[in-house]
Structure 1
Amino acid sequence: MKNLQPTALASYIDHTLLAPDASRQQVRTLCEEALEHGFYSVCLNSAQVPYAAACLTDAAVVICAVVGFPLGAGLSDTKAFEARRAIEAGAREIDMVLNIGWLKDALLDLVRDDIALVQQACGSVPLKVILETCLLTDEQKIQACEICRDLGVAFVKTSTGFSHRGATLEDVALMRKVVGEGVGVKASGGVRDYPTAVAMIEAGATRLGSSSGIAIVGAGITVANGY
């Protein structure tokens, strides 16, 4: 297992708060923690974006908003509208949930159109597509990744963290194999400690979604110092 320097590891992390009862104080704390520890972004529900933007004025920390979250089963134009409004409010990345039911029914043209509509709404803002891998067969994961690769989205992402299992090393490796080097892979759900974070990166992840970023980076500092 490679020993990533804490500052390098922090730059992989989307510091995440997606609880439905999240308070403004918790959002402010999330933003302050992201600034303090050098996390790449804060990841929030779209209604929290305007307040996060007020907390992070002129800061380097990116605001990421989830769209169609956590089910992915809403209307495509509703997802696109949510993405557009979140960007207007200050989001600089969008994480959308694809329509899982359509994927499992092999309605691949509808899946593609769903993603493409949100991608169009995003414009130049990077789009990550959440597959919810724990609900899919390997064949379905491959199909979703092929669609995302062909559309040129910024990232494929394993999980919402709201289903019965999050990221696995096997899923990250499979997703990386399918999308190649031109698309990012975000491991999310269950990434709670330093060894898991490093293992996900070694498997092919280029971003980590976690609410445990402080603990992960803290453990990385311990390792870097030889304790």
Structure 2
Amino acid sequence: MDRREIYQRVDHTLLKQYATWEEIRQICDDAAAYQTASVCIPPCYVKQAADYLQGRVTVCTVVGFPNGNCTTGTKVYETKEAIANGAGEIDMVINIGWLKEGNTQAVLEEIQALKAVCGERVLKVIIETCLLTEAEKIEMCRIVTQSGADYIKTSTGFSTAGATFADIELFAKYVGPGVKIKAAGGISSFEDAERFIQLGASRLGTSRIIQLAKAETEAGAPHSGNDY
């Protein structure tokens, strides 16, 4: 697969608690250089990043992150503020406790509330697959499809595990038409990235892919246009 096809699917991500503006600015520069789908960054840096990028790269941020168990009203406010600050995409975390106790209607309504705020902007729904049973993952495929959200996403990267090939295969089998898939967490090689894409992922949440590309460039290898 052409490397550029991979870069264009990457949400170049830095969500660590200790991330500084200098580090965020660097991933913005890298995202622009490698033409990634977006930069996915903490809410506190959205306005700075949007002002800095001036439309060169879409700014994505997270809502209800990483635990998902704040109130719906809090998530709605976070979403409105992020959009006002320049975010073009929102990655929200579901209330996993609601799902576990069978309160699927509340899970659905919360996603719908955030999609209503997002409007035409992209909403990705993080379900934290490592904490769910297979039946719960299948149920979330149904809920996300019904909600009108744009993506179902595997993981925050802050729990016990990240994306797996099996989860992407499962999503591809059970999501409805129009719902795309984002694999996130633990994607650490070009080979893994290509495999996730082949299995059905339209987006990859990762920092490592662009880091690898930069390392190759610094070593004298071209960063685009080559197969691997």
Cross-structure match for 2:167: 171
Corresponding residue for 1:140?
136
- CA deviation map 1:55-78 (0-9, x unaligned): 10131x110010000000000011
Indicate the SS of the match to 1:48: helix
- Give the direction of change, closer, same or farther, for the CA distance of 1:217–1:6 in structure 2 (3 Å limit): farther
- For 2:163, give the aligned amino acid: A
Distance 1:206 1:157 in 2: 10
2:34 maps to 37
Matched, 1:149 2:148: no
CA distance in 1 between partners of 2:161 and 2:153 (Å):
13
Q: Is contact 1:194-1:217 (8 Å) kept? A: no
Letter in 2 for 1:177: K
Task: Indicate whether 1:88 and 2:84 are aligned.
Answer: yes
Structure-to-structure mapping, 1:4-83, within 5 angstroms: 4-59=1-56, 61-83=57-79
Q: Which of structure 1's runs of 4+ aligned residues deviate more than 3 A?
A: 215-227
Instruction: Identify if the C-alpha distance between structure 1 residues 22 and 52 changes in structure 2 by more than 3 Å, giving closer, same or farther.
Output: same
State whether residues 197 and 216 of structure 1, in contact with CA within 8 Å, keep that contact through their aligned partners in structure 2.
no
Distance in 1 between residues matched to 2:34 and 2:22, nearest whole Å: 18
* TM-score, with length taken from structure 2: 0.93
Write the letter of the residue equivalent to 1:86: A
Change (3 A) 1:226 1:138: closer
Secondary structure (helix, strand or coil) at the match of 2:98 reads helix
Give the Cα separation in 2 of the matches to 1:221 and 1:175.
Answer: 34
For 2:55 and 2:110, the matched residues in 1 are separated by 33
Matched letter for residue 6 of structure 2: L
SS for the counterpart of 2:193 is: helix
**Does the aligned pair in 1 maintain the 2:59–2:86 contact within 8 Å?**
yes
Of 189-198 and 178-187, more deviation after overlay is shown by 178-187
Give me the whole-angstrom Cα distance separating, in 2, the residues matched to 1:80 and 1:196: 34
- Name the CA distance, whole Å, in 1 between partners of 2:66 and 2:193: 23
Q: CA deviation at 1:217?
A: 4.2
Count of aligned positions: 223
Are the structure 2 counterparts of residues 169 and 216 from structure 1 closer, same or farther at C-alpha, using a change threshold of 3 Å?
Answer: farther
Q: CA deviation at 1:46?
A: 1.0
Q: Does the alignment pair 1:161 with 2:157? A: yes
The residue matched to 1:73 in structure 2 has which SS? coil
Q: Could you tell me which of 190, 198, 211 is aligned with 2:207?
A: 211
Q: What amino acid is the match of 1:151?
A: S
- 1:42 maps to amino acid: V
Distance 2:55 2:174 in 1: 37
1:214 partner letter = I
One-letter amino acid matched to 2:200: G
Q: 1:56 to 1:223 in 2, by over 3 A?
A: closer
CA distance in 2 between partners of 1:223 and 1:50 (Å): 30
TM-superposed deviation, 1:180? 3.7
Q: Deviations over 1:65-104 (max 9, x none)?
A: 1000000000001101100110010000000000001111
- In 2, the alpha carbon distance for the partners of 1:62 and 1:95 equals 13
Letter in 1 for 2:33: E
Q: Which ranges in structure 2 are unaligned for 5 or more consecutive residues?
A: none
CA deviation vs aligned residue, 1:122-172 (integer Å, no higher than 9, x gap): 122110000000000010011111011012210000000000100000001
Provide structure 1 residue ranges, at least 5 long, that are not aligned to the other structure: none
Letter in 2 for 1:164: T
What's the CA shift for 1:121? 1.4
What is the TM-score normalised by the length of structure 1? 0.93
